[in-house]
Amino acid sequence: MSVQHFLQPGAVPTSQTRLLLSNLVKISPIAIGTWSWGDKSTWGWNEESDSKANDAFAESLKKGIGFFDTAEVYGKGESERCIARYMKNHANLISEESGNDFVIATKFLPLPYLLFYPTCLLQHLKDSLERLEVKQVDLYQIHGPIHLRSIETLADALAEAVKQGLTKTVGVSNYSTEQVIRMYDALQKHGIQLASNQIEYSLLRRVPETSGLIKACLDRGIAVLAYSPLGMGRLTGKYSVQNPPPSGRRFSDYNMELIEPVLNVMRSIAEARNVSVSSVALNWVMCKGAIPLAGAKNGEQAIANAQALGWRLSDEEIEKLDQKSIAGSNGWFWQHG
């Protein structure tokens, strides 16, 4: 069977499993989301955080997870600098001899006042490359549908980034079905496949699935990258009604009482399979055809993420989780998809 852009029905994801972005870039079936790396305002980043994230980077690679997703706005660029440092610290784990497929994805924030394309996008990408200390990224994404210029204008700019060799593939984030199809069609005119659409997707936000967005993407060869697959920590098993997460975690911001029903099912499955509670949430996302972007602030969390590999939820377990899941909704400004 040829390599696909999503985990095939019935397939068991393992540390050796590889998916494809745009038929070009091999990726692990789980990615590491690095929003917390370098971020002080939401995640309270400090020197100790840096050491722990360095461990998370290494442990992820040791477990066969070599796909790291960042953005220019994460920690005001510090997340990208973190990745550059950790790459140097663990060069042996990302060398060709290591056997790891090391992949970097980053994002461009198309603020409404940015009007001159492709110049602004190319400059922002070059700034990211400088912080990452690389000559090319594997995936460059539009961070959100907040741009005033047309999707076709941004498609032309992304195509220019590919033609200049600054990125191997291009993607979008938070795009609706209509928007992602427009971007796909616009890039096709340049002979470029839209690699991905990154959206919030989890047991606490199933609207990308129920709306048909995920199917529309997969039917066109567009990988679905699922951010906040753990509901910003709410689906890790760490928090409960008695011990709620810290305030300020805006995605999937539900009272823990609403989340307890699905957490109870997750705990039961985790206990029966002898895996982490968080790995149940990540495995569910993969079973649905998406690629979870799991945060990892330390080595222990990286190991917990990797426990989502090597097994697959049964259809019965998926149904039980679906029944207790939360639909969620879209937003007018940021989350169109």
Alpha-carbon distance values, 236 to 32, 262, 305, 307, 315 (Å)? 15, 12, 10, 12, 22
List the one residue out of 128, 112, 113 whose CA is nearest residue 77. Answer: 128
Residue 49 one-letter amino acid:
S
Buried b (16+ CB within 10 A) or exposed e, 210-238: eeebbebbbebbbbbbbbbbbbbbbbbbe
H helices within the chain, ranges in order?
47-62, 78-89, 91-94, 119-132, 151-163, 177-188, 207-210, 213-219, 256-273, 277-287, 299-306, 315-324
Length of the chain: 337
Residue whose structure tokens are 């109870």: 264
Residue 136 lies in a domain: yes
Asked whether 109 and 71 are in contact (CB, 8 A), the reply is yes
101: how many CB neighbours lie within 10 A of its CB?
16
Give yes or no for a contact between 20 and 7, defined as CB atoms under 8 angstroms apart.
no
Mean of the per-residue pLDDT values of the chain: 94
Within a domain: residue 32? yes
Does a structural domain hold residue 71?
yes
Q: Which domain holds residue 240?
A: 19-324
Task: Report the C-alpha gap between 107 and 24 in whole angstroms.
Answer: 19
Q: Are 226 and 252 in contact (CB under 8 A)?
A: no
Residue 249, pLDDT above cutoff 60: no
Query: What is the per-residue pLDDT across 204-242, written as a single tens digit (0 to 9) for each?
Result: 999 999 999 999 999 999 999 999 999 878 898 776 677
Inter-residue contact 208 to 327 (CB < 8 Å): no
Residue 11, domain member (yes or no): no
Instruction: Give the confidence band of 76 by pLDDT, cuts at 50, 70, 90.
Output: very high
Per-residue pLDDT reduced to its tens digit, 21-41: 999 999 999 999 999 999 988
> 331 in a domain, yes or no?
no
The average pLDDT across 5-34 equals 96
Residue 255 clears pLDDT 90, i.e. is over it: no
Place of tokens 């497929």: 101
Active-site residue, from 74, 140, 184, 227: 74
Residue 1 within any structural domain of the chain: no
Tell me, what CATH number does 260's domain have? 3.20.20.100
pLDDT digits (tens, 9 = 90+) for 270-321: 999 999 999 999 999 999 999 999 999 999 999 999 999 999 999 999 999 9
Neighbours of 47 (CB within 10 A): 7
Confidence of residue 51 (pLDDT cuts 50, 70, 90): very high
The confidence score (pLDDT) of residue 44 equals: 86
* Domain presence at residue 10: no
Q: In this structure, is the dihedral angle defined by the CA atoms of residues 179, 79, 46 and 36, taken in order, positive or negative? A: positive
Distance of CA 1 to CAs 4, 7, 11, 154, 204, Å? 9, 12, 11, 35, 33
* Cα–Cα distance, 9 to 240 (Å, whole number): 32
What does the pLDDT read at residue 247? 62
Given the structure tokens 């659409």, which residue do they identify? 197
Residue 238's pLDDT is what?
79
Looking at per-residue pLDDT, the higher value among 49 and 96 belongs to 49
- Residue 91 confidence class, pLDDT cut points 50, 70, 90: very high
Residue 261 C-beta-side C-alpha neighbours within 13 Å = 11
Confidence of residue 69 (pLDDT cuts 50, 70, 90): very high
227 classed as catalytic: no
**Residue 166 covered by a domain:** yes
Sign of CA dihedral 48, 303, 90, 28: negative
How many domains does the chain contain in total?
Answer: 1
User: Are the CB atoms for 108 and 140 separated by under 8 Å?
Assistant: yes
**What is the mean predicted confidence (pLDDT) over 6-13?**
96
pLDDT tens track for 122-179:
999 999 999 999 999 999 999 999 999 999 999 999 999 999 999 999 999 999 999 9
